[in-house]
Structure 1
Amino acid sequence: MKYNWGMIGTGWIAHEMADALNKVNGTIYGVADLNEAKLQKFASEKKISNTYVDPDEMINDPKIDIIYIATSHTYHFDYIKKALNAGKHVFCEKAITVNAKQFDEVKTLADQKNLILTEGLTLLHMPIYDDVKNLISSGAIGDVKLVQVNFGSLKDYDPNNRFFNKDLAGGALLDIGGYATAFARSFLKEQPNNILTTVKYFETGVDEQSGIILKNSSEQMAVMALSMRAKQPKRGVISGTKGYIEIDNYPRATSAKITYTKDAHTQTTQTITSGDSNAALEYEVSDMQSYVDNGYDNGQLKLSGEVTHILDSVRNEWGMKYPFESK
């Protein structure tokens, strides 16, 4: 079934999503952006016939089924609420909300309205993860003890950029930390209840880099390293009592290397592959539409909520609030 999608925002990720929508869904019904020149250019390039300078007008268009949100983090909460109240399913880019209080409110609203709300974290939709989880469930690497995950982005030095703007919820934690935390949480049996962390701030007051250790009641641990001004490999490792799994480029992974450790001296390796990194957003679109078809999101929103609560707990440990949270 084809759906009428309405897009809010015309930035770089919206360009990639529009291409995915046109490929999977065949068409895009509408797009909204406050900048009319950018709006018309985007609509022309992506063959979108309906344009809206006022996003609220698009949200309330009765012909639209699904709203896609690709704005700065601080606008997500309001647009999600408006879309759900208008009876629309919502696919929102990460971070789905800037804090757990906002998340809990929109999740409750989505449940009340019986609507699908999903977050655009690519790793939640890459096919390789089904294979990895099945392998772990089979006991192939024994009991999972430790997850290690890095994400380092090298943003140009520009205090005026949104990545470093505290009023726009900038910083590494919300920009890239969701990927690392979603990876870690996916392979822990339970939600962490113990967090140790330290942070280095950028001159604007946002988190530039951080180290985070998570532990749950099963004594499983996750170790994460995030940075906005130093590149790191996007690499995750899941370690168990019988082996470990290495996943490179984990946000859009297509392969996993498994090392089986029979004992301290004997190791064998296996590599499994699945999916296409270039089709990451196509998988997101296909999954979202299947969720709407089936009325169930396969637990994705629950995982997003757990990640959001972890990110909140990390910031609480730092004592860092965004200016609008104190009002």
Structure 2
Amino acid sequence: MTVRWGVIGTGGIARSFVEDSAALGVRFTAVGSRTRDRAQAFADEYGIEHAHGDYDALVADDTVDAVYVATPHSAHAEDALRAIEAGKHVLVEKAFTVNAAEARRVVDAARAAGVLVVEAMWTRFLPQASRIRQLVHEGRIGRPRLVEATHHQALPTDPRHRLNDPALAGGALLDLGVYPLAFAVDALGVPETVAAVGSLSDQGVDTQMGLVLGHPDGAQSVLHFALDLRSPNAASIIGDEGRIDLDPSWIGPTTYRLRDRDGHVLEEFDGREDRVGYHHEARAFEEMIASGDHEGGPMPIEQTVAIMEVMDEARRQVGVRYPGETDDATDTGAEPTHP
């Protein structure tokens, strides 16, 4: 089947996803924005047939089979639920939701409706990630013991920017930290313990944070991320018989080397000739629709919920609370609302 995509949101990530995916044959039939003018401008730029000035019209569009949600974090749950209620499959940008309680509501709704919902953690779908996953599974580095990864960016400091606004679920963790966290979970499994240290802005969001996570069988990960720093952004998976080193910036298509315990290179991979890389998640999502597999894939939905739970705990330790959340960020008791 040919999956016909609709897009909610017209910001930078929506543009990157559509531009890269459309160039590889993914079909986009509709786009929705909060204003008709923005939707029409986006549709004209990318050759999309239908432009809608509100999200309800987008999800009601009969030419749409699947919806890509590219709004701010604070709106992900509401927009995903909107699409699910309309019977659409949904690919939701990372971070999946604001907290684990919202994530569970979205997942439960998708299961009840019989539609697919997946977090758009695009790095999980890159060819390099598939091969690294295989190397770890085959025991090529022995027993994996440690993941080290950073994600530092020097991003806008304007307090009104979504990254710095608590009302839009801003901060380093949900926007940047979710990448190394998802990477560590992929290699080592869901953490059993979480230790977090962070610095907060005057607005009350985390500008930087460090995590030390305890994974099954005694493995650990050491992760750091920040909104106001620059670094090479490299990553490694270290086992008792070898390691896999990913070059900067490991978050996108990059190179890696498989090394033995003495540091000798056993395998090299260069993914830099890939396009931006978003088309891999689009195609994998379409394959999951075709196969009826709603629980597996490179980014299983249960892992998404578990990662949200880890981020809830990290925010609790550091002291980041978003408007409308109670002391227990994993159970707000409130339905998600528009920002």
- Which bin holds the TM-score, normalised by the shorter protein? over 0.9
**What does 1:135-150 align with in structure 2 at a 5 Å threshold?**
135-150=135-150
| Counterpart for residue 273 of structure 1 | 269
Flag the 1:260–1:44 CA change in 2: closer, same or farther, 3 A: same
| Counterpart for residue 15 of structure 2 | 15
1:154 and 2:154 aligned: yes
Stretch moving more, 231-240 or 292-301: 292-301
**What does 1:279-298 align with in structure 2 at a 5 Å threshold?**
279-297=276-294, 298=296
1:244-268 CA-to-partner distances (Å, cap 9, x unmatched) read 111122222343112211xxxx431
Distance 1:140 1:70 in 2: 37
| Counterpart for residue 82 of structure 1 | 82
Give the CA deviation at 1:319.
3.1
| Counterpart for residue 241 of structure 2 | 242
SS of the equivalent of 1:5 reads strand
| Counterpart for residue 213 of structure 2 | 214
Give the conservation status (yes or no) of the 8 Å contact 1:4–1:66.
yes
Flag the 1:33–1:291 CA change in 2: closer, same or farther, 3 A: same
Is there any run of 5+ residues in structure 2 with no aligned partner, and where?
A: 327-333, 335-339
Letter in 2 for 1:259: R
Distance 1:153 1:109 in 2: 35
Distance 2:3 2:156 in 1: 38
Distance 2:216 2:14 in 1: 40
Give the CA deviation at 1:165.
0.4
Give the CA deviation at 1:120.
1.3
Distance 2:176 2:166 in 1: 15
Flag the 1:283–1:26 CA change in 2: closer, same or farther, 3 A: closer
Distance 2:192 2:105 in 1: 22
- The percentage of aligned residue pairs carrying the same residue is 28
What TM-score, normalized to structure 1?
0.94
Distance 2:183 2:250 in 1: 8
Distance 1:37 1:296 in 2: 37
Give the conservation status (yes or no) of the 8 Å contact 1:2–1:25.
no
| Counterpart for residue 91 of structure 1 | 91
Distance 1:293 1:20 in 2: 22
Give the conservation status (yes or no) of the 8 Å contact 1:59–1:83.
yes
Between the two proteins, the alignment pairs up a number of residues equal to: 322
What TM-score, normalized to structure 2?
0.90
| Counterpart for residue 128 of structure 1 | 128
Give the conservation status (yes or no) of the 8 Å contact 1:20–1:285.
no
**What does 1:1-327 align with in structure 2 at a 5 Å threshold?**
1-188=1-188, 190-248=189-247, 249-261=249-261, 266-273=262-269, 275=271, 276-297=273-294, 298-299=296-297, 300=299, 301-326=301-326
Distance 1:55 1:217 in 2: 42
Distance 2:216 2:267 in 1: 31
Letter in 2 for 1:221: Q
1:3-50 CA-to-partner distances (Å, cap 9, x unmatched) read 221111111111112223422345311111113322221111111121
Stretch moving more, 296-305 or 86-95: 296-305
